[in-house]
Amino acid sequence: MPKRYNPAPGWPAPPEGWTPPVGWAPDPSWPAAPPGWEFLIDEDDAQSGYGTVSPPEVRHSRAGRLSKKQWVACGVAVVILALILPSVAVLAGLIAGVLGLIGLIRSRKLRLTQPDARRVSGAIALLGVVALTVGAARSSGNDDSTVTQQAVAPTSSASSAPVQSPAVSTASTPAVTSPTVTPSQAPAPAAAPQPASGYGMHPADEASFLQLVGDGAAASKKSSNDLQKGAAKATRDAGVCSLLATKDVTSWTGKIKTIDANGDGKGILTVQLADDIEVSTWNNFLSDAVDNTLIDPTSPVFNNILKMKKGDVVSFSGTFAESGTSDGECVEESSLTLRGKLESPSFILKFSDVTAA
């Protein structure tokens, strides 16, 4: 069957009936022919006109060739999505990463050239990693970029109880002399809830917890380097572990900071105990895979908080999540930096009861 010359895309059309002579080579200024291009084809298979290819072939050969501006726009969109909807962005990041790997494997079926396949699939996988990283960081619920300069509120409230005993001796009348009252005869003051402005009445164990965390924050702010901050954290963690031997708390009080739900409808709750100190559930299913702190919609706790809102003062009970590290922590804390762990900590708690205070 007669053969017909088939010029590559972008090459000039030859005269009718022309075939390349022996030793002929294309002009170096012409675009490179696609891999595997057939220059001599059967007369019946020739396309209409010289130097043309079918639209599907053109589309496949140019697939995935986005400009740098388009890739930058995609990356910005992924980061914005991760900041606004962290749980969705984490899932999208995983999906994008998987699609990128599948694209590398199946690039031949997409008819991409090898460099194009690697660029497209690699870019998709990279965007997936960006979404996963930013979404997970955002989902930690802790922003370490702002640190207040006020003294931690629990310091004064927690230290108010020990002052009661000296107040009795200074207020005594001249008829009662100090030798008549010995330490063995003086009754020990009963543990009483400690007032905290805007956060409810803290029971004694909560006040002690806030004192320990507040002291750690104060030591961190006075530190001149991370080594000193590390020492302050070790001291705080040791005190917290000693205080929370069972990790269970009962009737603690605080103010609702965040009340929300994740993409599966499970409750997210953050309760602020004092300035820059809070307890919270995780806010995404990946972080919560082990601790199971997200509030199930069928649970009594979920029903109790349905009508609550940000700013409500509540009384709650629950169990602190076990720390997954081996650095002396005994309760889970979600901050990403050493400074955040000390100066604005968010401790992970599984709520078993929440009521209006």
**Could you report the per-residue pLDDT of 37-51, keeping only the tens digit for each?**
888 887 665 544 444
| Pick from 52-66, 238-252, 331-345: least confident | 52-66
SS3 sequence of 266-301:
CEEEEEEEECCEEEECCCCCCCCCCCCCCECCCCHH
Q: Which of 131, 145, 148 is nearest to 90 (CA)?
A: 131
Q: What is the pLDDT of residue 115?
A: 59
Mean pLDDT for 17-36 is 84
CA atoms of 73 and 286, how far apart (whole Å): 27
Give just the sign of the alpha carbon dihedral 110, 111, 114, 120.
negative
Q: Indicate the residue type of 219.
A: A
Q: Rounded to the nearest 5°, which phi and psi values hold at 309?
A: -145, 170
- Measured distance CA(131)–CA(77) in Å, rounded: 10
- Alpha carbon of 270 to those of 16, 82, 199, 243, 284: distances in Å? 79, 20, 13, 22, 13
Determine if the pTM surpasses 0.85. no
Distance, in Å, from the CA atom of 124 to the CA atom of 93, rounded to the nearest integer, reads 9
Report whether 236 contacts 198 (CB < 8 A): no
Assess contact for 86 and 78: CB atoms under 8 A: no
Task: Please report the pLDDT score of residue 343 as a whole number.
Answer: 95
Q: What is the pLDDT of residues 263-275, one digit of tens each?
A: 999 999 999 999 9
pLDDT of residue 350: 97
Residues 123-146 have pLDDT tens digits of 666 766 666 666 666 555 444 444
pLDDT of residue 116: 61
